[in-house]
Amino acid sequence: MIFVTVGSQKFQFNRLLKKIDDLLQKGIIKDEVFAQIGVSDYKPKNYQCADFTTRDEFNAKLNACDLLITHGGTGVIVSALKLGKKVIAVPRLKKYGEHVDDHQIQLIDQFKELNLIEPAYSTSDLPSALQNARTKTYAPYISNTKNIIISIEQYIEQPRGNK
């Protein structure tokens, strides 16, 4: 199953939802698809969706999916990677009214550089991204949280001179 999520921000992501519909219609995607579409006003014709899901419903879909297709949001990408899911990320872009700027491109670049996800910088890249995600092996996600905590603890515990 493919889980598509566009996040919960106040911006639509119709461009991605329409492309998923198109790929299902053309038979490029043969998997079952479920999408959390947020405030997008495009209603999918070829797959099930909900505007928003509860945290439990979201986690159930994320756990059940074989592949996540999402916007370039760090939280959802990291959540999927922690579960060992393959991820295709499509950046929301300012020019389409999908976000206030194009910072998601840089976020996706960082995940790509670490070989953690498959980027689709444009919806036209989705067919090749789908093929890559099905065949490619990605690096395992390794959390850096422990190292950050240790670094903070070491800083706090450093002796300080009186000034």
Q: At 148, is the pLDDT very low, low, confident or very high (cuts 50, 70, 90)?
A: low
**Beta carbons of 40 and 17 less than 8 angstroms apart:** yes
Give the residue, 9 or 122, on which the prediction is more confident.
122
Instruction: Determine the pLDDT at residue 147.
Output: 64
The answer to whether position 154 is within a domain reads no
- Sorted by sequence, the CB contacts under 8 Å of residue 7 that are 6+ apart come out as 13, 38, 70, 71, 73, 76
The answer to whether position 153 is within a domain reads no
* Averaged pLDDT of the chain: 91
Domain that holds residue 22: 2-138
**Beta carbons of 132 and 118 less than 8 angstroms apart:** yes
The answer to whether position 27 is within a domain reads yes
